[in-house]
Amino acid sequence: MNDMTPTREQREAALEGMGCRRKRVEDIRFTQGKGNYVDDVKLPGMLHGDFVRSPHAHARVKAIHTEEALKVPGVLAVITAETLKTVNLAWMPTLAGDVQMVLADGKVLFQNQEVAFVVATDRYAADDGVSKVVVEYEPLPVLVDPFKAMDPDAPVLREDLAGKTVGAHGPRKHHNHIFEWSVGDKELTDAAFKKAEVTIKEMISYHRTHPSPLETCQCVCAFDKIKGELTIWGTFQAPHVIRTVVSLIAKIPEQKIHVIAPDIGGGFGNKVGAYPGYICAAVASIVTGKPVKWVEDRIENLTATAFARDYHMTTEIAATKDGKVTGLRVHVLADHGGFDACADPSKWPAGFFNIVTGSYDFPVAHLSVDGVYTNKAPGGVAYRCSFRVTEAAYCIERAMDILAQKLGMDPAELRLKNFVKPEQFPYHSALGWEYDSGDYHTAMRKMMEAVDYAGLRKEQAEKRAAFKRGETREIMGIGVSFFTEIVGAGPSKNCDILGIAMFDSCEIRLHPTGAGIARMGTKSQGQGHETTWAQIIASEIGIPADNIMVEEGNTDTAPYGLGTYGSRSTPVAGAAIAMAARKIKAKAQMIAAYKLEVHEDDLEWDIDGFRVKGLPEKVMSMKDICWAAYNSVPPGMEPGLEAVSYYDPPNMTYPFGAYLCVMDIDVDTGVYKVRRFYALDDCGTRINPMIIEGQIHGGLTEAFAIAMGQEIRYDSEGNVVTGSFMDFFMPTAVETPHWETDFTVTPSPHHPIGAKGVGESPNVGGVPAFSNAVNDAFAFLGATHIQMPHDYWRNWQAAKNLGVVA
Amino acid sequence: MIPGPFDYHRPASVGDAVKLLADLGDEARPLAGGHSLLPMMKLRLATPAHLIDLHGIAGLKGICRDGDRIVIGAMTTQAELLASAEIGERLPILHETALLIADPQVRYRGTLGGNVANGDPGNDMPALMLALDASYRLEGPNGAREVAAREFYQGAYFTALEPGEILTGISIPVPPAGHGYAYEKLKRKVGDYATAAAGVVLTMAGGKVASCVITLTNLHETPLLATDAANAVIGTTLDDAALKAAASAARAIMQPASDARGPAEYRIHVGGIMVMRALQRAASRAS
Amino acid sequence: MPKTHITMKVNGSEVEGLAEPRTLLVHFLREQAQLTGTHIGCETSHCGACTIDIDGMSVKSCTMLAVQANGAEITTIEGMANADGTLSPLQEGFRMMHGLQCGFCTPGMIIRAHRLLKENPSPTEAEIRAGISGNICRCTGYQNIVKAIQYAAAKINGVEFQEAAE
């Protein structure tokens, strides 16, 4: 070898494969303002649409007067439900099996509901038109409190469902009832509670909030009358699903619909569903024959397109006196707003909430969920979590703390005592999941050591004593959270959306010069897929990541996929990428064997090519194999080097983590300060640690916001009182704490590269850590459970209720 | 969120601006930094037919010393206040407060005149102007007049400005050297209005409070001058009892709304705490 | 509505166009000047995605009228790269420190950080956090944005960047 021959380490490094902190490909354009987001799409003759929205939460629509609006210069059309009825689109199906008004049909069910769609030559004229549409309303009694939804005299919200005693998920008990979903063994669970030595019961609410990505929901629809084709650029986390849904409801053949999700400015679940804006823009384009753009403003975003959570979870744990859990019983009241537009796999009306047994070995458990209608915006979406998993994690992590308090045990010790043990994996939970892998004790102990948990508790004891002596007005809380997520939806045996199995896909084409393009059914909204997907391919087939272009979001070119949400991209598409790469590698091996004149079995893989076993100098690099694939393949073999994989995962993945939050609260003002936040995550194999850390920072920040104040709040008349960034808590760099990250690695045994997904873990684990810290701070004063969000005034109110402020 | 249509005017002098306002009447609004008015116009909660942009009037900017007073042009921005050594030295409470207003970008545009003139009870500078006993120069069709800040605020968005008048300058008596000051603002996050805020300007002599003014922000329809609260500490060493008496007297005049920042009860409670903390911090700065 | 002819210097080039009095500067830049790097996130001047640099000030262009920028000198994200087309220290810092994810807040963040560093070439972490507090990021949790700005400051000042331990 001469000096120029790269070492193995250099060859490995040149690939920038898995495990490498590869800098992001996307950043070159984003840092120069050259991203291409939906609102950047500008087409000749493009029109703009804007909504007239209801000021009332519940009202009959008596009349809509459009005459004055149509006189506004530039206004071309005002679309109402009556217009949409002519094309049978006044209502649309939701992902949850319900139907939703596209435009108010006879009544409105929530404030800011879409009533009419004004189409004009530009966004200024459209807004002028909106201001001139006059709608006559007759206000109706408003239902805001979900606990009153099933009162006998509760107002009837959904008149369209009159007489329907069965919904998409079984019987309906009341005119405002949507579904009841139950799982687990009720009899055994009830029996466990009967003989329990210790029980706790608490109604744990997870308030309504909103994902609120910085870019709102938007689209451009362009209908070509000659070809009969509809092209939609949109903020879509799942572009193929949008194509299929549009085809089904608009009756346009699917091959004539082209959906393009360009760069997306964050999604967090907000951009999974189909919204009236998309339908109206499409109809407007069909009617006018011109492209129509719809761009939501922030107030519309917060008040109309989706919400998250609004789960009210009555939780009971049975346990022995020495702290071994023996049963879990949970009833959830789920507030879905005016329409059930929950974005869950179709058979799962409460998502995967049955992960609520968490990281603990509950011998028996029972869960039931009742969904109800209220006069609020429809949803709910999974805001940076797999379907209802963050609600479940919050529920169990709060309940375990409440149990620890009742038992007088340390919450970390109680968790260690009840964890599923490493040797129990694969573990079958009492509510029906098969946890693929985990090592909870190691993660928990690593966290406790890293933060000096014992030292913190000692400091806390001293501070509590000082508080009681009147020497300080500050209380210290230590929030422990140990979460198990369920992500990677999902196996076709239990996951589909409108009948489409939740597989994902990858197509890789290698070019003669040793470069290639790879396309997936997923769609990055900031996760950095263009960077990380190429890293998987680089490690699998030895082509430098820089030579692989990753493309997502164009339904004409990408293989069908179910999109990016629920931390499913790495578990599902990540596996498809590895499998497609392995198909290529298998063919490459045949080509190499032919060229090196040996038998395939005599070859072994070596970083970036094949070498003959025992003859390390006899090698063929992937670069050379690529050329050969287009030049001299073995007789009988088709030329080319490409592969497609559709991956149906055998199981979900179960990332987990141990988080700790230390918080100080001034009881006189309720002002808190997060002193320390430590997050240990186990997401299995780590593809790009830099991106993982970034995801965790971001998810923790969202968790911080949600736990400490981010709320979609309604007054008793159904008016949203937190409908802009003034009142909807969106922390800046000043409020946001400093984050410490750490990890363990327990690869998924069933995933081709052992990866589990990470984007949502910090939100799932973070919220209980913050909330437990607040609750822990107040616990010594006699509090058992203080509801979120923990904003200043509520902390003060808690202190007041406990009698420590006058 | 697009403003309704309007005509735009950019007068070069106060006289021209006043004439435009007089000619155009109720349909016209003066435009300063725009960070209150333009969002209201985008929501179409304000739909003036004419905007009179004051940015073209060079004379409305600047900070100058006039004897024992500092005179600040109405169009002087918060960022310019922060950049002024004169303000930092003579009126340091303005620096402390300006840094608590909105965020850096808004402070480049937001003006002192706009902040004090529009009568928004959430604005921070009016309470300071009460504390410092500033006066405002109002120019209108009938000439110019000076109105004490303490006489200016009449209700939420209601002020002593007569139709056709523009607030053109703020004149602030320089507090005595060695005065103590503090502006305590509790807010949920950067960019928010005060949940409760208190401003204090005081002097100390022989370990006791010699003079004291306390003012309150966003705890009533208007900024408040908490005279009883101030009287409760004058002559004291700011001992615990005096602080509590001041907080209690201040709370007695607060009437905040319940909103997303918290119920009125909470805002009154923390309003008292802001008073106590401002007093303590101001005293610690006095010499 | 009658339109006014306005001109401004944007990223060193003269830009002219017709604007209604109510045309927001951000719309003029995005739609008439075709500079779509400046984004719109909240429209109530809270999020800072629309931040531009105008006459030496960081301004939220959703809360300024285009006519008010007549004659002004403006820098947008499209004007931030080095003259030879390479990434400027701030752009490089954001990439090297993973200071962005979805990229939507990034133009506003970089433009704001640009003015911050002009006014305070060696800011502390607290000064950086306060300095970018008019810009909301939903993805990064700000920690890596702070590092990105520290990286850029070090590079501009010609000193070696020391990344703080996490």
Nearest to B172 by CA among B234, B92, B230: B92
B156, B173, B190 - which closes a domain: B173
Chain B contact present for C149, CB below 8 A: no
Summarize pLDDT for A739-792 with one digit per residue, the tens.
999 999 999 999 999 999 999 999 999 999 999 999 999 999 999 999 999 999
- Ranking A18-22, A378-382, B217-221, C128-132 by mean pLDDT, the lowest is A378-382
Report the residue of chain A nearest C39, measured CA to CA: A215
Same-domain status, A46 and A16: no
B154, B173, B192 - which closes a domain: B173
Mapped onto helix, strand or coil, the DSSP state of residue C14 is strand
Set of chain A residues whose Cβ sits within 8 Å of the Cβ of B267:
793
User: What local confidence, expressed as pLDDT, does residue A3 receive?
Assistant: 64
Restricting to A residues 686-745, those with a Cβ less than 8 Å away from any Cβ of B are 709, 713, 721-722, 725-727, 729-732, 734-735
Active site residue A760: yes
Is A382 part of a structural domain of the chain? no
Domains identified in chain B, total number: 3
Mean pLDDT of chain A: 97
Q: Nearest CA to CA, how far is C159 from chain A (Å)?
A: 22
Chain B contact present for A546, CB below 8 A: no
Of chain C, the end-to-end C-alpha distance in Å amounts to 55
Chain B contact present for C22, CB below 8 A: yes
User: What local confidence, expressed as pLDDT, does residue A1 receive?
Assistant: 46
C-beta separation of A245 from A230 below 8 A: no
Active site residue A385: yes
Same-domain status, A23 and A97: no
Q: Do C48 and B6 touch (CB under 8 A)?
A: no
C-beta separation of C138 from C101 below 8 A: no
Same-domain status, A723 and A797: yes
The pLDDT of B48-52, averaged and rounded, is: 97
Same-domain status, B152 and B199: no
Same-domain status, B155 and B244: no
Mean pLDDT of chain C: 96
Same-domain status, B212 and B248: yes
Is A87 part of a structural domain of the chain? yes
Q: Nearest CA to CA, how far is B118 from chain C (Å)?
A: 17
C-beta separation of B282 from B201 below 8 A: yes
Asked whether the whole model's pTM tops 0.90, one would answer yes
The pLDDT of C125-130, averaged and rounded, is: 98
Q: Do A722 and B260 touch (CB under 8 A)?
A: yes
What is the CATH classification number for the domain harbouring B279? 3.30.390.50
Backbone angles phi and psi of A639, in degrees to 5: -70, 175
Same-domain status, A439 and A522: no
Active site residue: A111, A237, A405, A589, which one?
A: A237
Same-domain status, A556 and A592: yes
Beta pairing partners, A325: A319
Q: Nearest CA to CA, how far is A99 from chain C (Å)?
A: 30
Is B2 part of a structural domain of the chain? no
Same-domain status, B215 and B169: no
Is B40 part of a structural domain of the chain? yes
Summarize pLDDT for A455-497 with one digit per residue, the tens.
999 999 999 999 999 999 999 999 999 999 999 998 999 899 9
Same-domain status, B69 and B44: no
Mutate to test the interface with B, among C30, C45, C75, C132 (most CBs of B within 10 A): C45
What domains, with CATH codes, occur in chain C? 4-79 (3.10.20.30), 89-157 (1.10.150.120)
Is A163 part of a structural domain of the chain? no
What is the CATH classification number for the domain harbouring B94? 3.30.465.10
What is the domain range of residue B222?
Answer: 180-285
Instruction: Please give the share of chain A, as a percent, with pLDDT higher than 70.
Output: 100
A528 closest CB neighbour out of C40, C101, C141: C101
Q: Nearest CA to CA, how far is A700 from chain B (Å)?
A: 17
Active site residue A787: no
Q: Do B1 and A127 touch (CB under 8 A)?
A: yes
Q: Nearest CA to CA, how far is B187 from chain C (Å)?
A: 14
Is B86 part of a structural domain of the chain? yes
Report the residue of chain C nearest B39, measured CA to CA: C44
Mapped onto helix, strand or coil, the DSSP state of residue A674 is strand
Chain A contact present for B102, CB below 8 A: no
Restricting to A residues 433-462, those with a Cβ less than 8 Å away from any Cβ of C are none
As for the ipTM of the complex, it is 0.98
CA distance B241 to B236: 9
Is A436 part of a structural domain of the chain? yes
Same-domain status, A113 and A245: yes
Active site residue: A53, A309, A329, A384, which one?
A: A384
Set of chain A residues whose Cβ sits within 8 Å of the Cβ of C25:
none
Is A676 part of a structural domain of the chain? yes
User: What local confidence, expressed as pLDDT, does residue C162 receive?
Assistant: 87
Q: Do A694 and C101 touch (CB under 8 A)?
A: yes
Same-domain status, A455 and A574: no
User: What local confidence, expressed as pLDDT, does residue B129 receive?
Assistant: 98
Chain B contact present for C83, CB below 8 A: no
Same-domain status, A722 and A797: yes
Is B158 part of a structural domain of the chain? yes
Same-domain status, B34 and B112: no
What is the CATH classification number for the domain harbouring B36? 3.30.43.10
Is B1 part of a structural domain of the chain? no
Beta pairing partners, C5: C18
C141 closest CB neighbour out of A23, A27, A697: A697
Chain B contact present for C40, CB below 8 A: no
C-beta separation of B152 from B159 below 8 A: yes
Is B264 part of a structural domain of the chain? yes
Is A413 part of a structural domain of the chain? yes
Summarize pLDDT for A37-70 with one digit per residue, the tens.
999 999 999 999 999 999 999 999 999 999 999 9
Is B271 part of a structural domain of the chain? yes
Same-domain status, A467 and A530: no
Backbone angles phi and psi of C95, in degrees to 5: -75, -45
What is the CATH classification number for the domain harbouring A250? 3.90.1170.50
Check whether A116 has a pLDDT greater than 70: yes
B173, B205, B232 - which closes a domain: B173
Summarize pLDDT for B126-136 with one digit per residue, the tens.
999 999 999 99
Is B101 part of a structural domain of the chain? yes
What is the domain range of residue A630?
Answer: 8-35+504-647
Q: How far is CA B277 from CA A489, B130, B218, in A?
A: 53, 19, 17
Same-domain status, B156 and B198: no
CA distance A483 to A598: 51
Active site residue A237: yes
Same-domain status, A588 and A558: yes
B1 closest CB neighbour out of A297, A734, A805: A297
The pLDDT of C5-19, averaged and rounded, is: 97
Contacts of residue A543, defined as CB under 8 A and 6 or more positions apart, other chains included, come to A15, A510, A514, A515, A516, A537, A608, A622, A623, A626
Same-domain status, B110 and B161: yes
Same-domain status, B32 and B77: no
Set of chain A residues whose Cβ sits within 8 Å of the Cβ of C43:
297-298
Q: How many Cβ atoms are within 10 Å of C36's Cβ, its own excluded?
A: 22
Is A666 part of a structural domain of the chain? yes
Chain B contact present for C48, CB below 8 A: yes
Same-domain status, A657 and A695: yes
When pLDDT is cut at 50, 70 and 90, the band that residue A2 belongs to is low
Report the residue of chain A nearest B42, measured CA to CA: A127
Check whether A139 has a pLDDT greater than 90: yes
Same-domain status, B23 and B91: no
What is the CATH classification number for the domain harbouring A582? 3.30.365.10
A647, A670, A695 - which closes a domain: A647
Same-domain status, B148 and B184: no
Set of chain A residues whose Cβ sits within 8 Å of the Cβ of B273:
668-669
Report the residue of chain C nearest A728, measured CA to CA: C46
Q: Nearest CA to CA, how far is B42 from chain C (Å)?
A: 8
A647, A668, A686 - which closes a domain: A647
Same-domain status, A98 and A234: yes
A698 closest CB neighbour out of C95, C133, C141: C141
Structure tokens at A503: 């597989």
Domains identified in chain A, total number: 3
Same-domain status, B281 and B202: yes
